[in-house]
Amino acid sequence: MVDTANLLAELVERDVRDHELKVNNLRAVFTGAHQREIKAKIFDHFKGSVGLQMYLTDEKGIVLFDSDGGKREGENYSEKRDVKLTLDGRYGARSSRAEEGDSASSVLYVAAPIGDPVKPDGVLTLYKPQSDVLPLVRERRQIIYIACGLIGGGILFLVGAVFLWLFRPIGKITEYARAIERGERPTKPKIGIGREVNTLAHALDSMRDALEGRRYAERYIQTLTHEMKSPLAAIRGAAELLDEEMPADVRKRFLENIRAETSRSERLINRLLELSAIEGRARLEETEEVDFHSIIARAIDQARPLAEVDHVSLEYTAAAEPITLRGDAFILRAAITNLLENAIDFSPVGKAVEITVERIDKNAVLRIRDYGPGIPDYAQEKIFDRFYSLRHHSAKRKGTGLGLTLVRETAELHGGKISLEPAEGGGTMAQLILPVG
């Protein structure tokens, strides 16, 4: 509008200066222009007619011509902002409402000086209803909003990505440290390519191995010393008494005590050796494909002599299909043997220990069920704790308290889990679940 106003001001400059303004010609021009049918599509806005109007004043601000039917002609517009500023040698423009209470009736006025800009001979003002350009304004505003939204979303995405890149590895390392603190065996987290966080993760892993090794050695030295005191004291006491004269039945009872305590010491040392093979590990360093059926069969063969001594039978039902696991065959066999010996120890004479294995989805499920007295409620939460043991059903003595700890460690190392629950109809059901493949 500014360009158009200045262009029209040049066209009428001579006529205004010479007071020869041809009002009728101007009116005819605007009338013809407003009668034109325009078919212009500007972006998504369709324009069908000319919406531009014009009025022209002399150097005193009196309206000489008004294209809108001459309604303003003869009026004094010297105080109107567009005219007054232009007559003062400045840029003049204003926006006024045709109806004071209707914001949609605003009209935009843009003025240009006629003749000398410092001391003009008159003012030419173009005016246009703002409603004529509002669709374009709204469209441009919508585009701006969308662009700002996309830019803002992009910025937020980048900020979020940077936040995750910086803080997510730290969160993983923190959780890794907490898992170590809880006594779990977490694998070292994958934390991307950041040099600093990877160095920190490696340092934590190395520190964990060093501390575990030190605590592991201290714990087992203390454990072995403490647990061996009782059977050794019993053996020494019985041996000293054998030097004295005593009835044959009493001597036989002392010899039986020596044998029993010797057997207990042997089992304790074997359990500690087996447990030491796995408890110090954070993970299985080397694994292989193993036949789960073969491992169970070897464990049953190893436990069978104990079952025969206690007059307990072992009934094994194998799965119809082969089951292959990835793990350590020695550790798995030791764990299953401990489960079997535990079931045998608590089984009544003449009863059976039932062993079944099957594949369920992506897991191998081994169940060992005995018909013993079951696990008391008070022992449920402590049954897997180190050195916690219940008195055996037949021998009326406690075990080493290490067998089930070894089973739990084995299950965790292989990514599985172990549970001991009351069986339907009495007894206990041990269930070992291990991932297949």
What would the pLDDT profile of 83-114 be if each residue is shown by its tens digit?
999 999 999 999 888 777 777 778 899 999 99
User: Domain 285-437, what fold?
Assistant: Heat Shock Protein 90 (3.30.565)
φ/ψ of 343, rounded to 5, equals: -65, -40
pLDDT category at 293 given cuts 50, 70, 90 is very high
- Percent residues over pLDDT 90 in the chain: 23
Average pLDDT, the chain: 79
Q: Which of 281, 408, 292, 280 is nearest to 342 (CA)?
A: 408
Architecture of domain 2-132: 2-Layer Sandwich (3.30)
Tens of pLDDT along 320-361? 888 898 888 888 888 898 889 888 888 888 899 999 999 998
Same fold, 2-132 and 285-437: no
Tens of pLDDT along 145-159? 888 889 988 898 888
C-alpha to C-alpha distances, 397 to 8, 166, 199, 373, 389, nearest whole angstrom: 117, 57, 51, 15, 9
The domain limits of the chain are 2-132, 133-283, 285-437
For residues 13 and 30, is the Cβ–Cβ distance under 8 A? no
Three-state secondary-structure class, residue 151: helix
Q: Which of 120, 40, 49, 44 is nearest to 82 (CA)?
A: 120
* Beta-sheet strands, E only, within 115-264: 122-129
